[in-house]
Amino acid sequence: MRYFILIVGLFFVFSPMYAQQDVLFEQSSWEQVLQKAKKENKLVFIDVSGTNCSACEQILATIYTNDDVGKLYNSNFINYRILPQNDKHAFLVSRYNIKSFPAYFYIRPDEALLYSSDHNSTTDDFIANADLAIKERNAEKPIGQWDLEYKVKKPEGKFLYAYIEKRTSLALNNADIIDQYASVVPDGDVLKKNALSLFLKNEQINANGAFFRFILDKQEKVKNILHLNNAQFQQILSNSIDYSFDKACKAKSEALLNDVIEGQLACMKTIGHKESEIIRNEYRTKFYYATKQPVLLSNYVTLYANTIINQKEEIKKQEGEKQRDKKDNRTVNKKALFPLSFTMHMMQKDELEQLDVAYSFKLRDAAQYVVEMLSNKTMLNNALTWSKKAIELFDYFSNYETHAYVLYKLGKRSEAIACMEKAYAVAPSADESGSAKEQVEAKLIKMKRGERIW
C-alpha cells in the first residue's frame, strides 16, 4: 500500500499534466539568446525592467507564474529579462525610447521588432500580445515597425491611413490615431466612403476626439455617404459614448468623464435643463459606482434619483393642465406650458409610457447601486423609495427584484421574500442572457436561507 501511495505521489510530481509552468528566462548573453531562438525556430520575448520597480516585481511574482502564460511563452519564445546592470539595458532604453518600466518587446532572431508594449498588466494582456507577435512573425513589415514609424510620421495623412488599415487588420485600437488623422487631413479625405467605413469598423471612437466632433458636425453628409438612417447613425454615436465612458472608468479620469457627458449632450438635438441635469447626474453616478467611490456615489445617486422623480411629477402636472385645457376648449400657449423636456409639448400617450419605462429603469438602477455599495440606513431607505417608484412606473420583474434586495438589506426579510416571489411570478421564462426566471429563483432560495445575494 505504501509503495502504491509513493508511486501515485511521484506521478503527480513528475507528470507534465500536473506540473506548473512558470515563464522560464534565459540566463545567458544576448547573443546566445538570439542564437538559441534561431536554432529552436522561436521568437524572443524581452522584459526590460527598471531599478526599484515594484510593478516589475509584481509581474514577476503573479503573471510569470501563471500556467497559461508559462506554456504559451515557453513554447513560442526564448524569454529574456534585461535588468539595469545588463550591458544591453541602456542600448534598448535608448533605441526604443523607453520612458517607463517594465517594457516588453517581441522580436525575431534577426532582431526585427514584431510588437512592443508597456501596458501589460494582466494575464490576458500577456496572452493577447504574445498571440499578436506570433501572428506577425512572417509579416514583411510587422506592426512593431509601424509603431516606431508612427512616432515620427504623425503629421502624414497617407502614413496614418495605412497605419490604421494595418492596425484594423489586427483588431487593434485605433481611436487616438483616427483622431490624429481627422486633425491633419482635409475634410474631403475624412468623408471618403472607404475612410469612414474603415474608421467605424471597430466601433472605437473617442467621444472627446476630433473624429467624433467631425462626424457630429457633418452627420448629414456621413449618413448619405454610408447610407445610414437616423437610428443607425445614433447607434454609432451611442457606441462612441459607451466606449469613452468605459475608458474613463478604467482610467478613473474625471476629465474624460466630463468630455463624455458633454459628448452625450451634444448628441441630443433638443433637450431641456432637467434632462440635461438627469444625464449629468446619471453618468456621474455610474462613474462613481464603477470606480468604487461610495461617498461621491451617495451624493450623486441622490441628486440623480430625486431629479428623475421631480421631472416625472412636473410632466404629470403639465399633462394634467394640458388635458384640462382640452376639456375646456381653451387655446393655450403650448410652448409656455412645456418648457422643460425632450417630451416637449406634443408628447403622445405612447411616448409618455416609454418615458415611464425609461425612468423606472433609471430609478431601479439607482437603488441597485445603493444596495450593492452602501450600508447607510438613510441611503437604503432612499433606495427603497426609488425602487418602489420604479415599480409604480413600470410593473417589471427586475424592478420587484431590486425592491426585494433593498428590503432584504434593511432587514425586512419576510417582505423581501414576498417581493422576490412577485418578481419570480412575473419574470419571463427565458431572455437573451438565459433564463431570467431561473436566476430570480436562485436568488429567492438564497434569500430564504438568509444568505448574501449581492
CA dihedral sign of residues 189, 192, 197, 198: negative
Residues 28 and 117 in one domain: yes
In a domain, 195, yes or no: yes
**Domain span including residue 341:** 268-364
- CB contact set of 37 (below 8 Å; sequence gap of 6+): 43, 44, 77, 78, 108, 109
In a domain, 381, yes or no: no
- Identify the CATH number of the domain in which residue 65 sits: 3.40.30.10
In the 8-state DSSP scheme, what is residue 100? S
Angle between helices 157-169 and 175-184 (to 10 degrees): 160
Residue 380 pLDDT greater than 80, yes or no: yes
Domain boundary, last residue among 147, 170, 204: 147
In a domain, 432, yes or no: no
Q: In angstroms, what is the C-alpha Rg of the chain?
A: 29
In a domain, 343, yes or no: yes
What's the number of domains the chain is made of?
3
Residues in a beta bridge with 434: 431
Residues 40 and 137 in one domain: yes
In a domain, 411, yes or no: no
Is the CB of residue 246 less than 8 Å from the CB of residue 279? no
Predicted confidence (pLDDT) per residue in 135-183, tens digit: 999 999 999 999 999 989 999 999 999 999 999 999 999 999 999 999 9
Residue 11 pLDDT greater than 50, yes or no: no
In a domain, 136, yes or no: yes
In a domain, 4, yes or no: no
Residues 47 and 109 in one domain: yes
Predicted confidence (pLDDT) per residue in 262-321, tens digit: 999 998 866 677 889 999 999 999 999 999 999 999 999 999 999 999 999 888 887 776
Residue 336 amino acid letter: A
In a domain, 240, yes or no: yes
Output the pTM of the full model: 0.82
The whole-number pLDDT of residue 374 equals 96
The whole-number pLDDT of residue 32 equals 95
Residues 118 and 228 in one domain: no
Cα distance between residue 247 and residue 260, in whole Å? 10
Is the CB of residue 6 less than 8 Å from the CB of residue 41? no
Residues 25 and 141 in one domain: yes
Domain boundary, last residue among 97, 130, 147: 147
Residues 123 and 231 in one domain: no
Predicted confidence (pLDDT) per residue in 175-221, tens digit: 999 999 999 999 999 999 999 999 999 889 999 999 999 999 999 99
Residues 48 and 69 in one domain: yes
